[in-house]
Chain A
Amino acid sequence: MMRKISYLTAINEALSEEMTRDKNVVLFGEDVGIFGGCFGVTQGLFKKFGPERIKDTPISETAIIGLAVGGAATGIRPVAELMFMDFAGVAMDEILNQAAKMRYMFGGKAKLPLVIRMAYGAGISAAAQHSQSLEAWFTHIPGLKVVMPSTPYDVKGLLKSSIRDDNPVIFLEHKVLYGVSGDVPEDEYLLPLGKGDVKKEGKDVTVIATGMMVHKALEAASKLEKDGISVEVVDPRTLVPLDEEIILNSVKKTGRVVITHEAPKRSGFGAEIAATIAEKGFPYLKKGIVRVCGKDTPVPFSPPLEQYYIPQAQDIVQGIKFVMSK
């Protein structure tokens, strides 16, 4: 049975189901308890699971990730919330040098089943320190998995799989998507990490979009449908591991590529996707790859500035028109 629920509710359900299934799943972070999370994601969980498994931490990001690392190495499955992705900077040693490397440094003897949830993205005038999309940082650190779901269906299935994964997973939730609703089955399901999804089939051009940009790409695709341009929208869903096959198959079909993400263009994950296509799919290309990304600036505060910073559907339309031109 399908029903419509929000992205936020889907996350909440995933957490609740996994905590019910496995008593070693423990959730902690700032204001995740009685307050229900800064965005309301963990509402009701404190009442259901109590203070031993839903733990309000002090404003101590280093401690939050350290708790996750030490906990995961010794038999629990922590789900740590960092509230805003921007705060990862405060806890970076624990992510970069501890969580990501422990297994490797110890010759494969450690297992770190932990999830770090972070809200990312611009669009609510949260300004430069509460709006970033820093996914590329984490994809550059071997040992981490990076998950970036765009729909309620994906976010639920991928979060459940992330909690069951025995590796450290960076789980990214776009704060504007929290309120977006979509079809989610009543019955339990899981989605594998490392499998992308074609959000819309098309034959003329491939748009590879992540997170919030999946929705903007779909908007652009529907605008262009009227002009007779058939756009395929591919959502990798997880950046590490990356489903190269779904990307290359689409490129093979269309020969034209637009890559879009909200993070700044320079050294963004789009560069990795473009390089992968150049290395493994170059013969398919009929035209150079175009990237439609955030500006190479901090995220500005004022709404018109912020909207200018964020790639819009119209920018993606322009990009598509460019790769469609002779």
Chain B
Amino acid sequence: MEKEEMVNMLKKMIKIRKFEERVVDLFAKGKIPGFVHSYLGEEAVAVGACSVLRDNDFITSTHRGHGHLIAKGGNLNYMMAELYGKKTGYCKGKGGSMHIADLDLGMLGANGIVGAGMPIAIGSGLSAKVRGTDQATVCFFGDGASNRGTFHESLNVASIWKLPVVFMNENNLYAISLSQKKSMAVPNVSDRASGYAIPGLTIDGNDVIAVFEATTEAVKRARNGEGPTLIEAQTYRWRGHFEGDPTIYRSPEEVEEWKKNKDPIKLFEDKLLLRNLITKEEIESIEKKIEDEVEKAVKFAEESPYPNPEETLEDVYVGEGA
């Protein structure tokens, strides 16, 4: 991999980190209404996977979707404005954190229903096939979602029709409070791939290069008409399921261990530093630049107007015929 490509991945991870840290802070201050599900700690999965994709490839996301959109090239101003419920947001304030989307970037939406992205992902996969393009779809979903029927139906259909879909499982060990050990009869999400006769692999989801490499292989298969792949990227969410979650289901020591020794950004920075691909000063300058960008997004969101109440009535139908 080229140096530039790796530095770009680091930049994207830092962008997610800084954006999410600020979002957590703004939510605590009461600036952001509704729910916020933070992506902190899982940055390597979104960035490793999306760095393989082109702009016209598709992704489906989850309720924890900010990182996916940033990794796919999302605009921080429109994102922050959407979280604030402002008119200038990605969805004109109609979607919020859980429904943020950018169809121009192939980002088919965060989703408030766990496991709902998978059937949509086979739909974009079918669409690419019917239209004769080689667009791939990466479908992000959690360990909890893999217990839903949508997982079974989607992997089965994707396999029998050889759809160009990569099922990217973000196994962060907990479905809200229920640990993966207590919710699944098999040790790994990837064990389930054998039921669909597709490749299934478990990787270190906090190693961005490992995610990138596994996705590269899976996307190649997808574009070649060889069908889907199930990748289980093992990771950890640093925050609770939602902001305000008391997280009584796991120990503070466990969280600290992941933060201290398995921080995906720190691990990647160390790797780049060791190989002299970046300097500490360069990292600091990247951080500073991104912090400025995030602050600009906050300013943009705060200064943007709310939508007019009557706009509630718009965007229900194309042509508003009903």
Contact = CB atoms under 8 A, between A and B. Distances in A.
A267 interface: no
Nearest to B155: A63
A71 B109 contact: no
Interface in A28-68: 52-53, 55, 57-58, 60, 62-63, 65-68
B157 A63 contact: yes
B120 interface: yes
Most B CB within 10 A of own CB, among A55, A70, A105, A166:
A70
A51 to B, nearest CB: 10
A108 B315 contact: yes
B149 interface: yes
Interface residues of A, number: 47
Nearest to A90: B149
Interface in A67-126: 67-76, 78, 93-94, 97-98, 102-111
A52 B130 contact: yes
B286 to A, nearest CB: 31
A160 B103 CA distance: 27
A150 interface: no
- Classify chain B: how many residues form its interface, as a range: 35 or more
A241 interface: yes
Contacts of B153: 58, 60, 62-63, 66
B247 to A, nearest CB: 27
B95 to A, nearest CB: 4
A81 to B, nearest CB: 15
Contact of B119 (A70, A104, A145, A240): A70
Interface string B136-161: 01000000000001100110110011
B94 interface: yes
A105 B109 contact: yes
Nearest to B149: A62
A194 interface: yes
B113 A70 contact: no
A194 B125 contact: no
Interface stretch (B43-51, B85-93, B227-235): B85-93
Nearest to B93: A107
Given A58-B153, A58-B156, A72-B123, A103 B116 contact: no
A106 B160 contact: no
Given A63-B119, A94-B119, A145-B322, A70 B101 contact: no
Given A105-B95, A105-B109, A107-B90, A69 B123 contact: yes
Given A74-B127, A93-B113, A107-B90, A66 B122 contact: yes
Nearest to A139: B322
A66 B157 CA distance: 11
A102 B60 CA distance: 13
Contact of B322 (A26, A72, A240): A240
B123 A68 contact: yes
A73 B124 contact: yes
B132 to A, nearest CB: 10
Given A73-B108, A105-B109, A241 B123 contact: no
B89 A107 contact: yes
Given A104-B94, A106-B103, A107-B89, A166 B319 contact: yes
Given A105-B99, A107-B93, A109-B91, A75 B127 contact: yes
A240 to B, nearest CB: 5
A193 interface: yes
A142 interface: yes
B93 A93 contact: no
Given A26-B130, A66-B154, A145-B322, A109 B101 contact: yes
B288 to A, nearest CB: 32
A210 interface: no
Contact of A142 (B157, B160, B316): B316
A167 interface: yes
A143 interface: yes
B275 interface: no
Contacts of A66: 116, 118-123, 150, 153-154
A106 B119 contact: no
A165 B90 CA distance: 25
A196 B272 CA distance: 68
B126 A76 contact: yes
Contacts of A24: 130-131
B237 to A, nearest CB: 23
A245 B113 CA distance: 38
B316 A70 contact: no
Contacts of B73: none
19 contacts: A26-B126, A63-B153, A65-B119, A66-B122, A70-B119, A70-B125, A71-B130, A73-B120, A74-B123, A98-B111, A105-B95, A106-B99, A106-B103, A145-B321, A167-B317, A167-B318, A167-B322, A240-B322, A241-B322
Interface of A: 24, 26, 52-53, 55, 57-58, 60, 62-63, 65-76, 78, 93-94, 97-98, 102-111, 142-143, 145, 165-167, 193-194, 240-241
Top 8 closest pairs, chain A to chain B, by CB: A66-B119, A70-B123, A108-B315, A107-B92, A107-B91, A70-B120, A63-B153, A166-B318
